[in-house]
């Protein structure tokens, strides 16, 4: 079990950052010894953490963790089922779920479909600040339409806060990935007073944090996501910094305007030539892709090929893992300088 060890004077900042990134393991208590404090955390990408932490830290293994008193999903469900039912189902119960604003998303195996309502009610019991629970069945198509079903409570619209930004959306209409949080925060820190093209803006995942400093062309094809993009621009007070564009970025992306292009869709390699043409003479492309671990070089080959076909040169600055996407597949982002 991992913990973030920091100097006592940095404990407040460390706890706040772990809360923002949703990395704090709240099953265990924060402990201290001598001049150091240990903040329990879940598994995370060390390189991503280094990008956003402005204090010294060390990841340590806690041999004797101190657990907090907390009811788990299994505890809550155990009170609703017979002992024989619990024994039969326990290994199938979801071990994790996502709390986004005041809405819960949970993945449930098909074998437990008859128990979905019980699982939803149990999750509301142990998360009393939440209003509804939705069965998360993934996303489909280029529009990233969520496949969800409500199993407890009412309402899908929520407001999620992270890193000083506010995101309003409906989980039944548009997607939101908490696992991309560190990358959203990172993009807000690396931009400056520049022009950015966000080719797949969604509800403003990357647009909003970047617009705190930069001018952003935010392109979105899904009308429902675009509706919330407009709302989030107002909620975050960045109306004068964002130019929203409704349409297919293959055809509506402005050319030769950007210092930086963000390609946040994980299946967008066909749009790489458009991204290159959106840059001025030179600039950055942040290219996302879901890639099997067996062919990790694939996104590098794709971006190099597209850049060369456009008559430009490229320098790969880094290839970063954003998160695990599925078994054997990871979500990566390539930071590339084009000139």
Q: What is the CATH number of the domain that holds 16?
A: 3.30.70.2580
Q: Is there a single domain that holds both residue 24 and residue 144?
A: no
Higher-scoring residue by pLDDT: 125, 168: 168
| Number of domains observed in the structure of the chain | 3
Residue 69: pLDDT band (50, 70, 90) is: very low
pLDDT at 70: 52
Instruction: Report the range of poorest mean pLDDT among 30-39, 148-157, 196-205, 215-224.
Output: 30-39
Strand-pair category, 279-292 with 258-263: parallel
CB atoms within 10 A of CB 23: 21
Higher confidence at residue 313 or residue 72?
Answer: 313
Rounded mean pLDDT of 107-133?
A: 94
Quick one: which of 127, 169, 179 has its CA closest to 148?
169
Residues 188 and 264 in one domain: yes
Assessment of whether the complete model's pTM goes beyond 0.85: no
Residues contacting 147, CB < 8 A, separation 6+: 136, 137, 138, 139, 140
Query: Whole domain around residue 289: which residue ranges?
Result: 177-338
Listing DSSP states for 33-66 in one string gives: ETTEEEEEB-S--HHHHHHH--S--EEEE-SSPP
138 and 183 in a single domain? The answer is no
Are residues 184 and 209 in contact, defined by beta-carbon separation less than 8 angstroms?
yes
Residues 227 and 323 in one domain: yes
Average pLDDT over residues 112-129: 93
> Each residue of 27-68: pLDDT tens digit?
788 998 888 999 999 888 888 888 888 899 999 999 888 866
HSE, CB side, 13 Å, CA atoms: give it for residue 59: 15
How far apart CA 231 and CA 253 sit, in angstroms, is 21
pLDDT attached to residue 68: 60
Residues 257 and 299 in one domain: yes
- Find, among 101, 185, 107, the residue nearest to 139 by Cα: 107
- Asked if 188 and 302 sit in the same domain, the reply is yes
């Amino acid at each position: 079990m991992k913990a973030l060890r920091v100097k006592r004077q940095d404990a407040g900042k460390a706890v706040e950052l772990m809360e923002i990134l949703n990395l704090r393991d709240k099953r265990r208590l924060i402990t201290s010894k001598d001049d150091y404090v240990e903040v329990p955390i879940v598994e995370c990408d060390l390189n991503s953490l280094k990008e956003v932490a402005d204090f010294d830290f060390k990841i340590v293994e806690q041999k004797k963790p101190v657990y907090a008193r907390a009811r788990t999903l299994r505890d809550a469900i155990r009170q609703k089922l017979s002992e024989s039912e619990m024994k039969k189902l326990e290994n199938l119960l979801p071990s994790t779920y996502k709390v986004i604003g005041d809405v819960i998303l949970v993945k449930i195996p098909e074998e437990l479909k008859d128990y979905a309502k019980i699982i939803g009610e149990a999750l509301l019991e142990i998360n009393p600040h939440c209003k509804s629970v939705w069965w998360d069945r993934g996303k489909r198509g280029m529009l990233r339409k969520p496949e969800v079903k409500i199993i407890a409570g009412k309402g899908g619209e929520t407001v999620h806060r992270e890193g000083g930004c506010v995101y309003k959306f409906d989980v039944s209409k548009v997607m939101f990935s908490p696992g991309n949080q560190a990358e959203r925060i990172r993009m807000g820190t690396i931009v400056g007073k520049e022009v950015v093209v966000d080719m797949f803006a969604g509800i403003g995942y990357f647009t909003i944090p970047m617009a705190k400093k930069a001018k952003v062309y935010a392109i979105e094809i899904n009308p429902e996501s675009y509706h919330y993009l407009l709302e989030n621009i107002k909620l975050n007070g960045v109306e004068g910094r964002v130019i929203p564009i409704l349409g297919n970025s293959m055809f509506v992306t402005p050319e030769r305007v950007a210092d930086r292009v963000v390609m946040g869709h994980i299946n967008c390699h066909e749009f790489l030539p458009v991204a290159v043409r959106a840059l001025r003479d030179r600039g950055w492309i942040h290219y996302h892709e879901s890639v099997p671990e067996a062919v990790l070089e694939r996104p590098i080959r794709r971006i190099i090929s597209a850049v060369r076909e456009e008559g430009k040169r490229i320098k790969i600055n880094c290839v970063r893992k954003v998160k695990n996407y599925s078994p054997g597949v990871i979500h990566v982002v390539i930071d590339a300088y084009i000139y």
